[in-house]
A and B are shown apart, each in its own frame.
Chain A
């Protein structure tokens, strides 16, 4: 168990996983909608507070899995309940727990019917999401990864918009179809490793090149659909548009990160040779996603669709950062995962707030609300600037690091001409174009604005919901170093191992490997 750092005492991570589930059971006997809201808010807030202990107790000098717990689970198959966090997953876990109370707040008046089942779905989602990020046993990971589909399906399918049935079924089928081969790959990997499902045991092994390629394809299908990478993104706009606000926020902020987290946690360490061999294709798909997402967002009339397509572009940056395989790129990618979670989550909250007032997501219906909702458009302006990567906001730091990594990659791979970076940069320009278009329309509109005088500005609950997001936009934007420190050791060790494995593989196989 050299990979695990077991902190004695309180099982912090298990608490984070099971407290929301316990909360869901706690809700069962209550009939009153408001009681359910307060209980859910209390539970999610408590979980968020407890998760801060992770940050406080995290040791940034080691790449081992901390706060680890391991218990036998299904002994006949050697499956254990093993969990732990390292620098890659820590921030994602904390982001998940911190965003959940705001999802509850955002649903406070948005969800009017069947409040209790809605809150139960949210809490079960939280259990599964935290679990996915901390699972160190591949079966545990897969179970939570799949189990998450059920509450998310119900969130979209029951409380969603008019085309919710189409969207929810598409979401479910896409994600499930993609991850079926992941299961086969997991079993194959375990079989070659003496039936150990412990994830670190599978890393840096010698599987043979052909097997690695097959496993990579299985991984890629599962994770690329979740990210979603172009051309596997078509479920995303549908799901985003139809989901209730909290569902959109969870999708954008947390679920999409699971795909990129999967690439970092599994693809790189388990099948490094295949990663290198297929890297150029993944990179160009990322570029395609950035450009495609940007242009499509530019043409949207539906605000949620616009942000959904912008997600495709932003997540393209993240996969770009991961697969350039250097420190700047990967650290930038992890940071950008957090940034996207904050910024896009906040933008979906904003759209949800205006939807509650106008009952439309059409850009033209919301044109020119700036005059009547000054507080709202202030928030919207900052989040839009953050989304387009304006200096001083969080996304600037992330995108900058990713582009720096890309330039470095170009220096290694393409001589000194930065093909890849040059191809990615128009994405940043496009982001400015579509976000400013959104902002301009919503704040000022044109000469033929609809009558917006009936609109009330944000109430206290809504301001409280948005303010923390704004805090993080500037905190990461102006002082990103503490955040990077948390992941630095883990990323360095990951890359060191990666390069060592590559050197060894090349020495062994000579010219055979790419």
Chain B
């Protein structure tokens, strides 16, 4: 029973494996995928309050892992719902696409439960390789092959970072003689300022920085976001980040505030992410690239929250990533719906969106204003709480730098809202048809963004409860 959510995902993947042996039409595949994802979500929700451990204690099921699994399942369902007919994926590999998607989800779900270095590694690789393959499955109109370039970049950078992580793991194992995170944490607490422990820990963290796209491990982001199909990008931008945050919480809670050197290095990474992401996003023309860079800066904020330590800090980061996923998915929902042929969207292509589809325009504006951190949306509340916690921790200068970043960021978000609302469409005046399922998804995302922003109390309580299961 403890393993039921993962089993359901695995089963879904297998179903798609068998489906891929025949040649079904894409409508069937799509309905099947949404149905299976919904089933997975239900199963994950029913096993929400389970507790226990599996596989010689290397796999823990607690409120923390179940909350993350629920998030992963919900985000996956949302991506599948709004990716429509997956126009960006080659017709002949659509079944395989879903097979790999579910395998990736399986890896990510396993990742959030893993509390042992080897199981972390296996889960991470399972998820990574599935996603590496999804990137080149894109169909392009002109038979261009830039998706191949993206796929290779994603793969090479990913393998590199995995190598770093393995190297770090070997150090940790060598120093502590154990692969269990709990035991490593106990032993490490005496070794924090040893260079070997420092390097080991940092290298393991860097593996996840790659997933979360934190400076300086962000290089894959813009090209992969641009080269992958819109629906693949939506998936990459949301789901793996959830799992990476979960693991970062587990790992950073081992560091605690005493490892001053590590904390300083991570602070630099976090502030560097904010500046790099925001400044680069200013000049982007392609909306997916822009969201990619904005994602880098948001990852910096998540890390910043983790560095405030304690239940409050981790809970805020958790809250922030939940909010980020909702805001980001709202934006990608619009991108996927507007780009009916699966092309890349330039920011200009959104010109006059409010006339072509008022509801999509509202969704986009809400998502972007929320990402920019304008109240009353979740992005503001998350940032505000991060800053409060950071102030408690005494990070005055980083807080000011983070605040300045909010001001920089508003410019590029606003420029998208500007073309969507204030300019009139020039060429393509046609209204955009949005299926009811996608409308429902957008409504749910909007409500989530606003409710989480205005009434964060319950969400914070949940996040705190989840986080407190990690802390002694």
Contacts and interface: CB of A to CB of B under 8 A. Distances in A.
B418 A181 contact: no
Given A75-B457, A77-B385, A157 B422 contact: yes
Nearest to B410: A176
B414 interface: yes
B407 interface: yes
B406 A180 contact: yes
A149 B456 CA distance: 22
A150 B453 CA distance: 15
Interface in A172-220: 172-173, 176-177, 180-181, 183-184, 187-188, 190-191, 195
Given A184-B400, A187-B387, A147 B418 contact: no
B267 interface: no
A154 B374 CA distance: 14
A183 B422 contact: no
A143 interface: yes
A139 B403 contact: no
- Most B-side CB within 10 Å, residue of A75, A76, A172: A76
Contacts of A158: 354, 421-422
Contacts of B374: 146-147, 149-150, 176
> How extensive is the interface on chain A, given as a class?
35 or more
Nearest to A117: B358
Interface string B351-393: 0001000100000010001000011100011001101100110
A141 to B, nearest CB: 11
B457 A177 contact: no
A183 B418 contact: no
A190 B383 CA distance: 16
B418 A157 contact: yes
B410 A173 contact: yes
Given A139-B384, A176-B407, A188-B391, A76 B457 contact: yes
Contacts of A77: 385, 388
B376 A76 contact: no
Contacts of B421: 154, 157-158
A177 B387 contact: no
Contact of B460 (A76, A117, A154, A191): A76
B423 A184 contact: no
Contacts of A54: none
Contacts of B464: 76
A190 to B, nearest CB: 8
A142 B376 CA distance: 10
Interface string B396-431: 100110011011001100110110011100000000
Contacts, number: 84
B375 A143 contact: yes
Contacts of A181: 400, 403
A184 B414 contact: no
Contacts of B41: none
B388 A147 contact: no
Interface stretch (A9-17, A161-169, A230-238): A161-169
A74 interface: yes
B312 interface: yes
Contacts of B312: 76
B340 to A, nearest CB: 25
Contact of B403 (A144, A180, A190): A180
Interface string A2-26: 0000000000000000000000000
Q: For the complex, would chain B's binding face be called helix, strand, loop or mixed by DSSP majority?
A: helix
B310 to A, nearest CB: 12
Contacts of A144: 375
Interface string B2-34: 000000000000000000000000000000000
Interface string A66-86: 000000011111000000000
Interface string A127-166: 0000000000001001110110110011001100000110
A150 B410 CA distance: 12
Contacts of A184: 387, 399-400, 403
Contact of B411 (A73, A173, A195): A173
Nearest to A144: B375
Given A173-B410, A173-B414, A180-B403, A191 B423 contact: no
Contacts of B457: 73-76
Nearest to A78: B388
A212 B396 CA distance: 16
A390 B380 CA distance: 46
Contacts of B418: 157, 165, 168-169
Given A76-B464, A143-B376, A172 B414 contact: yes
A150 B422 contact: no
Nearest to B423: A165
A116 B460 CA distance: 36
Given A75-B457, A173-B414, A191-B392, A164 B422 contact: yes
A75 B421 CA distance: 37
A144 B380 CA distance: 12
A156 to B, nearest CB: 9
A143 B410 contact: no
A163 B380 CA distance: 30
A146 B388 contact: no
Interface of B: 312, 354, 358, 365, 369, 374-376, 380-381, 384-385, 387-388, 391-392, 396, 399-400, 403-404, 406-407, 410-411, 414-415, 417-418, 421-423, 456-457, 460-461, 464
11 contacts: A73-B457, A74-B381, A74-B457, A76-B460, A149-B374, A150-B369, A154-B421, A168-B422, A181-B400, A188-B391, A195-B388
Given A149-B374, A191-B391, 12 more contacts: A76-B312, A76-B460, A76-B464, A164-B422, A165-B423, A168-B422, A169-B415, A180-B403, A180-B407, A187-B387, A191-B388, A191-B392
Q: Which 10 A-B pairs have the closest CB atoms?
A: A143-B375, A157-B422, A180-B407, A177-B407, A165-B422, A146-B375, A147-B375, A180-B403, A184-B403, A187-B391
